[in-house]
């Protein structure tokens, strides 16, 4: 295969006296004219770049990519609209929208749900006949005289109520929150605080005892609920506040004086006696024992009294807080 001739950048001078006939023609016929020095120097860098690209295509591509990546990132960030930061107003708006769809129960409702499994209805029967054998009118009359409420404080069936609810009764029956009924006996009493302790003879499954809380940090204005069976209707819940502490109550006959009482304004009526006074965390701070009505109509006018739970627990032989 015929090779193309190589051309040197320098020219040889002809020997002295030698004639070179038709030199230019010979050169033209032998090979194409050599490029001018300017043309050769100008073409050399291009040919080098070409050879480099052919020899190291991957490395050069990676190098160029590394140079272009930051520029592309800056351009993308600049062209894209920035996200607005989430503010507290956005969070509050989302919470409001959620609450509008599914409102949370009130604090009083949560407290009621907490204490309800521990609340019982207490019935003091004034004769030895079975409750079912008593005619309707006589039973209603007996219930009006001795109907009250109690609260389970120990899951062995120990119940706190008012002494006046069971005083004089020949038999005592209790009805638990799930409808289970049982005979009960009086196992303790504290007359000075109008308290009685009952023990149920048979218990429902999974009986729940209430949680008791010290009144040491109780303050006037604290929210409370009273739970019971007013006039035999219930269980019922009423809502109010602690109106005062260390109050004194004298019975209408003037025979009994109760001291160190919690005054509250949650509605209470006959049948609420012995029921729990409950804080918003569902804890018992008192046992409802009396209402004040100057007209002696035995209806609530806004002033109720409860025995502090410390006294009530002592009546059951439980250690103080």
Structural domain for 155, as ranges: 112-200
Residue 95: per-residue pLDDT = 75
3-state SS of the chain: helix, strand, coil percent to 5?
Answer: 35, 25, 40
Which of 200, 235, 252 is the last residue before a domain boundary? 200
Same structural domain for residues 228 and 311? Answer: yes
Same structural domain for residues 196 and 231? Answer: no
Tell me the whole-structure pTM to 2 decimals. 0.66
Contact 313, 191 (CB under 8 A): no
Tell me whether residue 123 is in a domain.
yes
Same structural domain for residues 155 and 235? Answer: no
Which of 140, 168, 200 is the last residue before a domain boundary? 200
Judged by DSSP in three states, 255 sits in coil
Question: Considering its fold, how many domains does the chain have in total?
Answer: 2
Tell me whether residue 95 is in a domain.
no
Q: What's the CATH code of the domain at 117?
A: 2.40.10.10
Contact 119, 278 (CB under 8 A): no
Tokens of 58: 């991957």
Asked whether the bond before 235 is cis by omega within 30 degrees of 0, the reply is: yes
Tell me whether residue 190 is in a domain.
yes
- Can you point out the beta strands (E) in the chain? 119-125, 147-154, 158-162, 171-175, 181-190, 195-200, 223-228, 236-250, 257-264, 276-279, 284-291, 304-308
Judged by DSSP in three states, 212 sits in strand
The question of whether 106 is a catalytic residue gets the answer no
Tell me whether residue 105 is in a domain.
no
Tell me whether residue 46 is in a domain.
no
Set 164, 182, 238, 243: catalytic member? 164
Tell me whether residue 19 is in a domain.
no
Same structural domain for residues 241 and 304? Answer: yes
Tell me whether residue 183 is in a domain.
yes
The question of whether 194 is a catalytic residue gets the answer yes
Residue 54: per-residue pLDDT = 63
Tell me whether residue 16 is in a domain.
no
Tokens of 51: 């050879």
Same structural domain for residues 148 and 179? Answer: yes
Set 194, 236, 238, 265: catalytic member? 194
10-residue mean pLDDT series, the chain (321 residues): 42 46 44 48 55 61 61 56 74 77 86 97 78 49 69 94 92 94 94 94 93 94 97 93 94 78 95 96 95 78 93 76 62
- Rounded to whole angstroms, how far apart are CA atoms 274 and 184? 15
Set 118, 182, 243, 273: catalytic member? 273
Question: Which residue from 235, 58, 232, 247 is spatially nearest to 145, judged by alpha carbons?
Answer: 232
Residue 271 per-residue DSSP state: T
């Amino acid at each position: 295969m015929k090779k193309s001739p190589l051309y040197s950048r320098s020219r040889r001078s002809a020997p002295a006296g030698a004639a070179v006939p038709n030199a230019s023609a010979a050169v033209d016929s032998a090979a194409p004219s050599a490029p001018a020095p300017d043309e050769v120097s100008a073409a050399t860098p291009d040919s080098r770049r070409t050879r480099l690209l052919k020899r190291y295509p991957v490395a050069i591509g990676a190098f160029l990519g590394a140079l272009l990546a930051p520029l592309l990132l800056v351009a993308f960030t600049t062209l894209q609209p920035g996200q607005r930061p989430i503010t507290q107003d956005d969070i509050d708006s989302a919470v409001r929208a959620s609450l509008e769809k599914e409102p949370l129960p009130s604090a009083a409702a949560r407290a009621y749900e907490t204490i309800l499994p521990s609340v019982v209805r207490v019935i003091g029967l004034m004769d030895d006949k079975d409750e079912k054998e008593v005619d309707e009118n006589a039973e209603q009359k007996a219930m009006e005289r001795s109907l009250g409420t109690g609260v389970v404080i120990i899951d062995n069936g120990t119940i706190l109520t008012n002494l006046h609810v069971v005083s004089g009764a020949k038999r005592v029956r209790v009805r638990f929150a799930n409808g289970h009924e049982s005979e009960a006996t009086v196992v303790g009493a504290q007359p000075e605080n109008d308290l009685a302790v009952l023990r149920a003879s048979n218990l429902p499954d999974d009986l729940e005892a209430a949680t008791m809380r010290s009144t040491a940090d109780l303050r006037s204005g604290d929210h409370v609920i009273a739970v019971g069976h007013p006039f035999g209707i219930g269980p019922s819940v009423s809502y109010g506040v602690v109106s005062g502490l260390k109050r004194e109550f004298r019975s209408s006959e003037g025979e009994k004086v109760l001291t160190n009482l919690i005054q509250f304004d949650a509605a209470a009526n006959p049948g609420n006696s012995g029921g729990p006074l409950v804080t918003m965390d569902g804890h018992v701070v008192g046992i409802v024992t009396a209402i004040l009505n100057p007209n002696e109509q035995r209806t609530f006018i806004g002033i109720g009294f409860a025995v502090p739970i410390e006294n009530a627990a002592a009546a059951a032989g439980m250690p103080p807080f």
